[in-house]
Amino acid sequence: MTDLGRYQDPLTIQRVLHATGTIAIVGLSNNELRASYFVGYYLKRHGYRVIPVNPREKEILGETSYPSLLDVPVPVDLVNVFRAPDALPAIAREAVEIKAGALWCQFGVINEEGARIAETGGVTVVMDRCLKIEHARYVGRMHWLGFNTRRITSVRAGLQ
Amino acid sequence: MTDKLSRAEQAREFGFETRQLHAGQRPDPNTGARAVPIFQTTSYVFEDPESAAAYFNLQEYGNTYSRIMNPTVAVFEERVANLEGGAGAVAFASGIAAQAAALFTLLQPGDHVVSSSALYGGTVNQLKHLLRKMSVELTWVDPDDPDAWREAVRPNTKAFFGETIGNPSGNVLDIETVAAIAHEHELPLIVDNTFATPYLCRPIEWGADIVIHSATKFIGGHGTSIGGVVVEAGTFDWSNGRFPVIADASPAYHGLRFHETFGMYGYLMKLRAETLRDLGGALSPFNAFLFLQGLETLSLRMDRHVENARAVAAFLDSHELASNVTYPGLPGNKYRPLVDKYLPRGAGAVFSFDCAGGRDGGQGLIGGLTLWSHLANVGDAKSLVIHPASTTHRQLGDEELRAAGVGPGTVRLSVGTESVEDLIWDLEQGFARVAATIGEKVETV
Ligand SMILES: Cc1ncc(COP(=O)(O)O)c(C=O)c1O
């Protein structure tokens, strides 16, 4: 059994959210009703540079889509994965090769070997978590719709 | 960046008493207000046309219109969700509206529901008549009989429904067992946790999938406001093939597949964006504020309610004019093992007993009380009393009355937080009147 708790630490998640500027989304769909499109749209809205990685599309969300991570011409801070779990080891190898800061695997994208490859290569791993939800939890407005953010703090944050 | 992270949040499991004060709310970012501001507004100015579209498309969490969401109501929703251990919550204008919406979201005509028969009378009416109007079939089961739940399941069954502590006869639901039977059949268990509150029992921890509250009762705690809330655990697989209403492309939301797109939040999104939008029944921000005030002291009040309820139940149990005291926390009560398992801090503060003298006796007792309030509610800090056969359960036939555990002389109590000796003194006044009435009858015969 994979110890998922290791890859879901709140402090790591907050650090990754704040350290990231450019996000490559592997498996981003061009169908606006798919979860990956919701996530990509949301991240773009919140000021991240989103780079689609999908060999079947030319452009998604107004951004050029690349066939693989190795084809992306700019530095990538975070690789966000919407693919079947067994695709993860290959993606993790590419994430290490392009020196991405972190590898973020969405709900259900759980693969121990992929996580190990990334970690050994110095890439931080978050697994079985949704990037949109975690952003909305710590930075965004998830609390506006009655979701349980589990946050407890009396610190006053800035305007939102 | 380091600045922002210097006060980043740790993975701490905060205690219940901390969460009843803080969950769902942070100091207002604009003003610093420490109390929850009452956002008494119908609607919200959009930043720009793209943002407006994103909110309506559910691509971004945003406020549009207070029938669907409101920042004060949202604090209440998140706080209840947090205390119950759910993924989120949606609030409604009443407990009954919350129940209707929870069911409406997962049902369609031709479906079937299995429900405990030991429920609040208003819920019995709702399930019996409202579901029939929606062409949904219903089977009542004895909640204490696991085989009855199992045998009632049909191919078109969509949910199990029960109350943690049944109103008014105090049946304690064996949540873990009934949830396991529901899950064997890939069905969700819906539990009305009104009488226990999340302080005394958290049904999700025992396998329940949806928890409902009439916030009108102990959550508000002061008898000021009507409201309700639905919490969902976020763990049920709505894509298991039984719930095309949630899993398939929704014609009411331009083809969105709620469970696929929102995952563990799919049911809650649909509950809000479709059911609340279309049935209305939104909670007012002011009532949400009052419920939040109530939640801040929930544990303190519940401990006191339980302490007083135990003392009143023990008094009645030894009184010659009272019988059949249904407080599940009494030592000899048949639900005591379930209380020890599910309600270790106490079995709440609502129960009934049969007053000597039948219908006249019950009404006579109430007529003799001067401190207990005679009214149709429970869960107020003040002690309340009612005679169900002539009020809350009046619409039920004899058979249904018996199934709900109500007899002609049954009196229901909601024990408040007053000085307990005053509550017992008042009941003694009532019994003196009953004794006199019964005595008179004997003389005139
Ligand atoms: C157990 C229970 N559930 C639901 C309800 C309905 O709640 P409301 O009156 O807030 O609509 C009540 C009200 O008495 C209740 O006692």
- Bridge partners for B80 per DSSP: none
Alpha-carbon distance of B406 to B48, in angstroms, equals 58
B228 shares its domain with B265: yes
What's the gap in Å between B272 CA and the centre of ligand 1? 21
Instruction: Output the six-digit token pair for B254.
Output: 């331009």
Residue indicated by tokens 């302490």: B307
Taking CA atoms only, the protein residue closest to ligand 1 atom 13 is B214
Determine, yes or no, domain membership for A75.
yes
B123 shares its domain with B190: yes
Alpha-carbon distance of B296 to B291, in angstroms, equals 9
Residue B403 has pLDDT above 80, yes or no: no
Give residue B23's Cα distance to chain centre: 19
B9 versus B217: the higher-pLDDT residue is B217
Q: Distances in Å between the alpha carbon of B279 and those of B97, B227, B273? A: 9, 15, 11
Determine, yes or no, domain membership for A159.
no
Instruction: Output the six-digit token pair for B123.
Output: 């819920």
Determine, yes or no, domain membership for B365.
yes
- Quote the pLDDT of residue B405: 73
Cβ contacts of B260 within 8 Å, gap of 6 or more: A34, A35, B239, B247, B266
B363 shares its domain with B229: no
Q: What is the span of the domain harbouring residue A24?
A: 4-145
Reported as a single tens digit per residue, the pLDDT across B216-268 is: 999 999 999 999 999 999 999 999 999 999 999 999 888 999 998 898 999 99
B280 shares its domain with B307: no
Percent of chain B with pLDDT over 70: 97
Determine, yes or no, domain membership for B306.
yes
- Quote the pLDDT of residue B442: 55
Nearest Cα to Cα of residue A89 among A110, A106, A66, A64: A110
- Quote the pLDDT of residue B1: 44
Residue B399 has pLDDT above 80, yes or no: no
Mean pLDDT of B316-345: 96
Determine, yes or no, domain membership for B86.
yes
Domains in chain A, number = 1
Contact B259, A35 (CB under 8 A): no
Reported as a single tens digit per residue, the pLDDT across A107-147 is: 999 999 999 999 999 999 999 999 999 999 999 899 999 99
B124 shares its domain with B255: yes
B244 shares its domain with B352: no
Residue type, B252: A
Selecting from A14, A107, A150 the residue whose C-beta is nearest the C-beta of B82 gives A150
Find the CATH number of the domain harbouring A115.
Answer: 3.40.50.720
Burial of B108 (0-12, 13-18, 19+ CB in 10 A): middle
User: Quick one: pLDDT band at residue B401, thresholds 50, 70, 90?
Assistant: confident
Mean pLDDT of B430-434: 96
B289 shares its domain with B310: no
B121 shares its domain with B21: yes
Determine, yes or no, domain membership for B346.
yes
The phi, psi pair for B118, rounded to 5°, reads -95, 80
Determine, yes or no, domain membership for B248.
yes
Residue type, B312: V
What's the gap in Å between B378 CA and the centre of ligand 1? 9
Instruction: Name the domain boundary from B294, B327, B352.
Output: B294
What's the gap in Å between B188 CA and the centre of ligand 1? 21
Q: How far apart are the CA of B57 and the nearest CA of chain A, in angstroms?
A: 10
Q: If you average pLDDT over every residue of chain B, what do you get?
A: 94
Residue type, B179: A
B184 shares its domain with B325: no
Residue A83 has pLDDT above 70, yes or no: yes
Residue B402 has pLDDT above 80, yes or no: no
A115 versus B441: the higher-pLDDT residue is A115
Mean pLDDT of B195-211: 98
Determine, yes or no, domain membership for B4.
no
Residue B441 has pLDDT above 90, yes or no: no
User: Quick one: pLDDT band at residue B445, thresholds 50, 70, 90?
Assistant: very low
Instruction: Name the domain boundary from B294, B320, B345.
Output: B294
Determine, yes or no, domain membership for A23.
yes
Mean pLDDT of A69-78: 98
DSSP A85-152: GGGHHHHHHHHHHTT-SEEEE-TT---HHHHHHHHHTT-EEEES--HHHHHHHHTS-GGGGTB-----
B358 versus A70: the higher-pLDDT residue is A70
Residue B278 has pLDDT above 60, yes or no: yes
B321 shares its domain with B248: no
ipTM for the complex shown: 0.92
Determine, yes or no, domain membership for B8.
no
Selecting from B60, B62, B81 the residue whose C-beta is nearest the C-beta of A148 gives B81
Instruction: Name the domain boundary from B239, B263, B294.
Output: B294
Determine, yes or no, domain membership for A156.
no
Q: What is the span of the domain harbouring residue B242?
A: 13-294
Percent of chain A with pLDDT over 70: 98
B309 shares its domain with B265: no
Determine, yes or no, domain membership for A150.
no
Residue B412 has pLDDT above 90, yes or no: yes
Burial of B132 (0-12, 13-18, 19+ CB in 10 A): exposed
Reported as a single tens digit per residue, the pLDDT across B11-60 is: 789 999 999 999 999 999 889 999 999 999 999 999 999 999 999 989 99
Find the CATH number of the domain harbouring B393.
Answer: 3.90.1150.10
B140 shares its domain with B215: yes
Determine, yes or no, domain membership for A151.
no
Reported as a single tens digit per residue, the pLDDT across B110-162 is: 999 999 998 988 999 999 999 999 999 999 999 999 999 999 999 999 999 99
What residues of chain A, 93 to 112, have a C-beta less than 8 Å from chain B?
107
Residue B320 has pLDDT above 60, yes or no: yes
Domains in chain B, number = 2
Q: Which residues line ligand 1 (CB under 6 A)?
A: B 94-96, 120, 122-123, 163, 167, 192, 194-195, 214, 216, 226, 228, 378
Determine, yes or no, domain membership for B64.
yes
Selecting from A11, A41, A136 the residue whose C-beta is nearest the C-beta of B10 gives A11
Find the CATH number of the domain harbouring B149.
Answer: 3.40.640.10
- Quote the pLDDT of residue A158: 64
Coil, helix or strand at residue B439: helix
Determine, yes or no, domain membership for A53.
yes
> Residues of A with CB below 8 A from B47's CB?
none
